[in-house]
Amino acid sequence: MGGVSIVKIKPEDDGIRLNRWFLREYPALSLSRLQKLLRTKQIKVDGKKAETSTRLAAGQELRLPPLDNEKAAVDDKKLSAKDIEYIRSMVIFKDKNIIVLNKPSGLAVQGGTNTTRHIDGLLDALMFENNERPKLVHRIDKDTSGLLLLARNRQYADILTKAFREHSLQKTYLALVRGCPEPREGVINYALEKVGERMQIVEDGQKALTEIKVLDNIGKKYALVEAKPLTGRTHQIRVHLESIGTPILGDDKYFGKERLRLKEVADKLYLHAYEIDLTAVYGKKTIIKAALPQHFAEACKFFGLEIKK
């Protein structure tokens, strides 16, 4: 076992949250153990007590206790050729500042309890000609497919993070729902708050707005819905569509106890981050679209639903 060590924060990690740094560098270190090490001052930043939310700056020094076991899980791990091909196959846009992925349903963006395979763990394969790994600037749910933006440098990480925070990047999702929203166009305005493991509509909760439009439907049985979140609450689209009586197919969490399962289509979540408008970042019209995943496209074909705009 090693002793106490001092690690200097690299320029490319300037601004990263301390818990995110540990998640990447010591994936076997649990959050509760990290908090205990911080609380007992076994981990310090520039000799001072820190919190999990502390933002690190380039050049700062981290004092670390022996963490060999936590790092051993990935010390010698290299991405396989299969992993590299897998993550690179998701790239649908790349320039010197941004990479856009079309993430498949079922793949988490970051690690967590019982989650060892995730986008964050594969980012080294997307460095290409750069010396630093891309940075996550937002997240989408594990079972949601579609657009995921990565910043290729700290400058654009800040630009994109600010743009997402200020909602200046318009995102458009597609959802396959049971029933058909009435009216066919409008804005769902229900405040949300996390209650237990679920987001719920709470009168004095956080403001949440979702603009929706029915693109196609089969009477009142099923519909293909365009949804634009005007705010950024967790599970916002899923809760809002369920709240008006048109839950998303394949949604285990918000479809209710008797979730509809159809043997004719794949048993997956039918929510896809379809389009993002990057005009606010590039200063010229820049819209990127992510093709529907196979299960979603096949379900639309089965139901005879089309993206009509």
Q: ∠ at Cα 57 (109, 150), nearest 5°?
A: 25
277 noted as active-site residue: no
CA distance 203 to 188: 14
Q: Give the other-Cβ count within 10 Å of 94's Cβ.
A: 16
Helix (H) or strand (E) holding 279: helix 279-282
Q: What are phi and psi of 147, to 5 degrees?
A: -60, 130
> Which SS3 state, helix, strand or coil, does residue 300 take?
helix
> Are 111 and 121 contacting, i.e. CB atoms less than 8 angstroms apart?
yes
Burial 250-262 (b: 16+ CB within 10 A, else e): bbebbbeeeeeee
CA distance 276 to 257: 33
Who's near 200: CB < 8 A, 6+ residues apart?
192, 193, 194, 239
Helix (H) or strand (E) holding 303: helix 294-303
Nearest to 143 by CA among 294, 235, 269: 269
Q: What are phi and psi of 67, to 5 degrees?
A: -130, 30
User: Residues 13, 141, 143, 251: which is the catalytic one?
Assistant: 141
Who's near 266: CB < 8 A, 6+ residues apart?
250, 295, 298, 299
**Which residues are known catalytic residues?**
141
